[in-house]
């Protein structure tokens, strides 16, 4: 229970906002964690939509069980990658034919990077941002080594941008402008996984265009919660996952986006029979399928794909505009509660307030013990070393009162006794592999 005397006005305000929240009824459409747990890790794994249970049961019993191999035609398995892309289109603000649901985020980013490098042989610089997700740095390193073995020298420029409160951080602008006719391609996370910093999409894309650079955006921490509006904001190339704010389930297939004007000029470096123009002709020579379908590679994981339809539909039904408006309001509300009640206990907001996404990153020297003490108080957040915890807002199921409740339990969890107890318990227990 939230102590209403401590939280006074905020408590009443939260109750009021929940009562007026047009998205509030959607919370019941999820399987919520039992025992009153507060779930703030929807940026890692979104909760299970109830409709997904029936969709998966139907996929297993009626489609696979009932149709067996005929499912490829009778149940529409073959075209799911494109159909789901169409469902995702209004969420991302892209055209129906610009999206493909396939593979993992990492594989998709690799495919797009390889495709651009192949199509544009003078592009020799890759820009990476220091707070990027490690996969993006790894795939760039792999691509650079592969190209070097074939005699093409690429260089990587590592930049730092998070602290600058301007739409196009100066290090990024400089790197994109390049030297001596250098042409760059940047691989940037729209929302940084650790700090929650969000780039200004429109401004960066405009600057890239003017500099003759390209950007591949990783939307994993934005899609489903931030209003990306890809077409309006000039996004040409993008990738993202489906298991975070899109609630597609553990290991859900990811997606890629290519703006229409680029598609026909790009070819998929991971060629496979599913991306062939005539897959069932079984020819050894490769001819790409028309449109974005050429970025398919192998057989799609049908059962995992079946979980995406109800999940995407739920987000589309709520409307990404309404979701982002609520997320922004809740972020501001939570950060002001943190400033009032947790800052005096040594907590700092590590997300730049001028450009946030939907997760609030908090810094405390005993973050790991704090996370465990929170878990003992039925609050699920995650820890990122060395001193951060992330609190993700999912407007489809996070209530305003949950944020007051979080701060209430977070204060208790920061008491010297709670932290000491968490430390002692940690010494006795073993953590799982996934944190
Ligand atoms: C920003 C970002 N990019 C890429 C990935 C990797 O995605 P995948 O495992 O689908 O390749 C993640 C995973 O959490 C991520 O957070």
Q: What pLDDT is stored for residue 119 in this prediction?
A: 96
How many CA atoms are closer than 13 Å to the CA of 169, on its beta-carbon side? 19
CA distance 276 to 296: 8
pLDDT tens, residue by residue, 328-360: 999 999 999 999 999 999 999 999 988 999 999
Contacts of 275 (CB under 8 A, 6+ apart): 268, 288, 289, 293, 294, 295, 296, 297
Q: Is 221 in the pocket of ligand 1 (CB under 6 A)?
A: yes
Question: How does residue 2 score in pLDDT terms, banded at 50, 70 and 90?
Answer: low
Average pLDDT (306-322) is 98
State if residue 43 touches ligand 1 by the CB under 6 angstroms criterion: no
- Confidence class for position 166, pLDDT limits 50, 70, 90: confident
Helix residue ranges, H only, 21-119: 50-58, 71-74, 80-92, 105-119
Whole-prediction pTM value? 0.96
pLDDT in tens, 247-295: 999 999 999 999 999 999 999 999 999 999 999 999 999 999 999 999 9
Higher pLDDT, 35 or 78: 78
Kindly report, residue by residue over 89-135, the tens digit of the pLDDT: 999 999 999 999 999 999 999 999 999 999 999 899 999 999 899 99
Q: Among 30, 133, 219, 245, which one carries the catalytic annotation?
A: 133
Rounded Cα distance, 416 and 141, in Å: 44
Spatial distance between the Cα atoms of 42 and 380, rounded to a whole number of angstroms: 10
Can you give 167-182 as a three-state secondary structure string?
CCCHHHHHHHHCCCCC
Please confirm, yes or no, whether 218 is among the known catalytic residues. yes
CB 406 within 8 A of CB 37: no
Residues 6 or more apart whose CB falls under 8 angstroms from that of 77 comprise 63, 71, 300, 302, 305
Burial of residue 107, with CB atoms counted within 10 A of its CB: 0-12 exposed, 13-18 middle, 19 or more buried: middle
111 is catalytic: no
Residue in 103, 106, 188 to alter for ligand 1 test, most ligand atoms within 8 A of Cβ: 106
DSSP 252: -
Q: How far, in Å, CA of 128 to CA of 189, rounded?
A: 9
């Amino acid at each position: 229970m939230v102590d209403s005397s401590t939280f006074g006005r905020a408590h009443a305000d939260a109750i009021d906002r929940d009562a007026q929240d047009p998205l509030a009824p959607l919370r019941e459409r999820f399987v919520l964690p039992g025992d009153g747990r507060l779930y703030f890790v929807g940026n890692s794994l979104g909760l299970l939509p109830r409709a997904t249970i029936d969709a998966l049961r139907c996929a297993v019993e009626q489609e696979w069980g009932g149709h067996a191999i005929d499912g490829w035609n009778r149940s529409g398995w073959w075209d799911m990658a494109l159909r789901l892309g169409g469902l995702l289109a209004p969420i991302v603000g892209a055209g129906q034919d610009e999206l493909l649901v396939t593979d993992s985020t990492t594989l998709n980013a690799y495919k797009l990077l390889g495709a651009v490098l192949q199509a544009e042989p003078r592009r020799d610089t890759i820009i990476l941002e220091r707070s990027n997700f490690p996969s993006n740095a790894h795939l760039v390193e792999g691509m650079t080594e592969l190209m070097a073995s074939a005699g093409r020298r690429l260089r990587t420029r590592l930049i730092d941008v998070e602290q600058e409160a301007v739409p196009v951080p100066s290090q990024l602008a400089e790197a994109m402008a390049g030297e001596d006719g250098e042409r760059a391609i940047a691989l940037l996370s729209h929302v940084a996984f650790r700090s929650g910093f969000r780039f200004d999409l429109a401004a960066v894309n405009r600057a890239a265009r003017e500099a003759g650079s390209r950007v591949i955006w990783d939307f994993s921490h934005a899609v489903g919660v931030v209003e990306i509006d890809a077409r309006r904001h000039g996004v040409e190339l993008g990738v993202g996952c489906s298991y975070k704010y899109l609630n597609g389930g553990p290991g859900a297939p990811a997606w890629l986006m290519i703006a229409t004007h680029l598609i026909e000029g790009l070819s998929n470096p991971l060629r496979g029979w599913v991306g062939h123009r005539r897959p069932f002709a079984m020819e050894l020579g490769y001819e790409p399928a028309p449109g974005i379908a050429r970025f398919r590679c192998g057989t799609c994981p049908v059962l995992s794909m079946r979980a995406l339809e109800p999940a995407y539909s739920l987000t589309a039904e709520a409307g990404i505009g309404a979701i982002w408006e609520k997320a922004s309001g809740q972020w501001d509300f939570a950060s002001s509660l943190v400033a009032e009640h947790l800052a005096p206990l040594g907590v700092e907001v590590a997300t730049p307030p001028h450009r946030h996404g939907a997760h609030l990153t908090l810094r405390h020297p005993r973050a790991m013990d704090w996370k465990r003490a929170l878990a003992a108080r039925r609050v699920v957040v995650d820890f990122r070393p060395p001193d951060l915890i992330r609190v993700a807002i999912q407007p489809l199921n996070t209530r305003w009162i949950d944020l007051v409740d979080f701060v209430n339990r977070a204060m208790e969890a920061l008491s010297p006794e709670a932290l000491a107890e968490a430390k002692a318990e940690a010494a006795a227990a073993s953590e799982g592999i996934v944190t």
